[in-house]
Amino acid sequence: MAKYLRDRAQFFEGSRRSTIIDEDDAKERESVTDKIRQWAIDRNLHTADPHKQALKLGEEFGELFEGLAKDSEELTKDALGDMYVVMTIMAEQLGYSIEECIEIAYDEIKDRRGKMVDGVFVKESDLEGDGDS
C-alpha cells in the first residue's frame, strides 16, 4: 500500500505540472477502445444483458482491491484494464459510448472545488454546513 501511495503522489505531482497527453497516445487509446468494441461484437457481447456485465464489473472491482491490498502493480493495472473493458462493453449494451460517459463525468467534475480530508477529496458543497445527506 505504501508503494501505491508513493506512486499516486508522484502521479498527481506530475499532473500539476500540466502534463499534456500526446495526441498519438490519445489515438492509440481510442484504437484500443475500438478493438474492445470489435472483440465484444465478435463474441455477441454487445447485445447481451448489461445487468450481467454489471456483475462482471463488481468482480473486477474486487480484483482491484486485491491488487491494492497485495501492493501488486501488476494485479492493480490488470484490474483497472479489465474494468475499462467491462465498462466499454456495458456502455455499448446500453446504447452509449464509453467516451460519451467519460465526457459527461468530466464535465461534472471539471470545475469542482474542494479539499483533501484524510486522503479523500471532498467536494466543496459537502464541506459547507451539515447538509441533508
Domain presence at residue 19 = no
Q: How is residue 120 written as a grid cell?
A: 479523500
Domain presence at residue 14 = no
List 13's β-bridge partners, or say none.
none
The answer to whether the CB of 37 falls within 8 A of the CB of 46 is: yes
- Structural domain for 88, as ranges: 2-7+24-96
The answer to whether the CB of 74 falls within 8 A of the CB of 86 is: no
Q: Please tell me the predicted confidence (pLDDT) of residue 113.
A: 87
Give the domain CATH number at 36: 1.10.287
Alpha carbon distance 12, 18 (integer Å)? 10
Coil, helix or strand at residue 95: coil
Radius of gyration for the alpha carbons in the chain, expressed in angstroms and rounded = 18
Where are any strands of DSSP class E within the chain?
A: 114-117, 120-123
One pLDDT digit (tens) per residue for the chain, 133 residues: 556 555 555 555 554 444 455 666 766 666 899 999 999 999 999 999 999 999 999 999 999 999 999 999 999 999 999 999 999 999 999 999 999 999 999 999 888 888 888 888 888 888 876 454 4
Coil, helix or strand at residue 105: helix
Terminal Cα distance for the chain, rounded? 31
Q: Please tell me the predicted confidence (pLDDT) of residue 58.
A: 98
Q: Please tell me the predicted confidence (pLDDT) of residue 107.
A: 94
Domain presence at residue 130 = no
Coil, helix or strand at residue 97: coil
**Total of domains in the chain:** 1
pTM above the 0.85 mark? Answer: no
Coil, helix or strand at residue 11: helix
Domain presence at residue 88 = yes
